[in-house]
A = this chain, B = another copy of it.
Amino acid sequence: MAKLKVAVLGATGTVGQRFIQLLEGHPWFEVGALTGSERSAGRTYAESSRWVLDTPIPAAVRDMRIMPEDANLDTPLVFSALPSKTAGGIEARLAAAGHVVCSNASDHRMADDVPLLIPEVNPDHLDLIAIQRKNRGWSGAIVTNPNCTSTPPTMLLRPLIDAFGVNKLLLVSMQALSGAGYPGVPSYDSTENVVPYIGGEESKVELEPQKMLGTLRDGRVESATFTTSAHCNRVPVLEGHLICLSIGFTRRPHLDDLMAALSGFRALPQEMKLPSAPAQPIVLRDEPDRPQPRRDRMIGNGMATVIGRVRECPLLDYKLVALGHNTIRGAAGGSLLNAELMYAQGMLS
């Protein structure tokens, strides 16, 4: 069967590069168009991208010409790696023109009629698309994935909320350099240092999980009601956001039940065997000093949430450490899994 052609918007940036890397050899999709900034448009991908990943540029993309960001595309599915603010208008135009846009940008994430989606967490939120189309008169749609730092706690909380109820979440992130894009963080700032601030990050992490873990009722999402506090830090790690979490429960579980709920979690993408779905969404390491970003970020091909050190918290109920690959599951891979879910459900034909 012919693969579905897809476009990648903002293809030369770091998230764009991850889309291209992850789409290489994909069983369902293949890259049919690339867009870039004015500076890149008209040049080949190899010429215009400062490729920074550690695998080579896929041969099929190397000589593809970059189209301008306002180009008309003929691919039904579009992945957006555009930067915030630029993304909003371009994505809306393409959705109006009939494209399904799976976007990693933050611009539309919190809109009432836009799904903010993790397929293991809230696949039913895709029902918002019908509302979105009605509201906006679009034939296409916009579906977003969350911020890279929102992903691991949201994934974890799904089985915990279902089994025990959660009312409090305190998290402190130690985020990788790649989260800032390229050129991103100057080496003169990151070397032998930690920067205890990432602009705009904490408010995203305090809002997005509530939306995803909220309940879709009468065409709108009622946010989950647990309280979140986030501290976000940048550490000298290339990929992989490590997060310390303390969690307060509605019904405090036994430790064994908590661990079982986490490591036993399976969801729709696993059932449907979506190509990018990890076998286990949540992988529990039992060594005392894991997960570690460098050693564990590629578990489940960068699509799993890896956890460890689950233990009692003197202040809330339990505490643990979680790790997610920020540019795979936390960005391009998250968008890709969203598209796979829609494709498997017949929403892309």
Q: Which residues of A does B touch, CB under 8 Å? A: 14, 52, 54, 168-170, 172, 174, 177-178, 182-197, 199, 206, 227-229, 231, 233, 235-238, 242, 244, 246, 288-295, 298, 308-309, 313-316, 319, 321
Contact = CB atoms under 8 A, between A and B. Distances in A.
Contacts of A170: 170, 246, 315-316
A229 B319 contact: yes
A85 B169 CA distance: 38
> What is the oligomeric copy number?
4
A172 B244 contact: yes
Nearest to A185: B187
8 contacts: A186-B187, A187-B189, A191-B192, A192-B293, A196-B242, A196-B289, A196-B290, A196-B308
B195 A228 contact: no
Contacts of A227: 314-315
A233 B170 CA distance: 16
A315 B191 contact: no
Contacts of A288: 197, 199
A62 B189 CA distance: 21
A78 to B, nearest CB: 26
A319 B188 contact: no
Contacts of A168: 315
Contacts of A309: 196-197
Contact of A184 (B188, B294, B315, B321): B188
B228 A194 contact: no
Nearest to A312: B229
A314 B235 CA distance: 24
